[in-house]
Amino acid sequence: MNVVGVDVERPGRPRRWFAPWGWVYRPVSVEGILVTLVALAFCVQVFLAVDRRSHSVSDTMYGIFPFVVPALMVLNWIAGKTSGRD
């Protein structure tokens, strides 16, 4: 890989961050791992913040849903765009 992020083995195509793995994507580069860890850290932080003030499991689920689902949708979108699928 060179400075502009083009993979040497596949000239003219950007390097893949994720690879298809069934219905989901798995990270295959450092960038993919970092994006996945950031999304995971965000989800854990939201869970801890919401769970601190909730009184039941349903309170926690209703509280984290508006944050975790969009975060995972964005992660899936990034993975789909950087997986190299045409």
Q: How many CB atoms lie within 10 A of CB 24?
A: 11
Which pLDDT value is given to residue 11? Answer: 60
Q: How many CB atoms lie within 10 A of CB 25?
A: 22
Which stretch of 6-10, 12-16, 34-38 has the lowest confidence by average pLDDT? 6-10
Where along the chain do its domains lie?
18-81
CB 69 within 8 Å of CB 26: no
Task: Please give the residue that has the higher pLDDT: either 16 or 7.
Answer: 16
Which pLDDT value is given to residue 24? Answer: 92
pLDDT tens-digit map of 22-71: 999 999 999 999 999 999 999 999 999 999 999 999 999 999 999 999 99
Per the structure block, which two tokens stand in for 19?
């690879």
Evaluate if residue 2 carries a pLDDT over 50: no
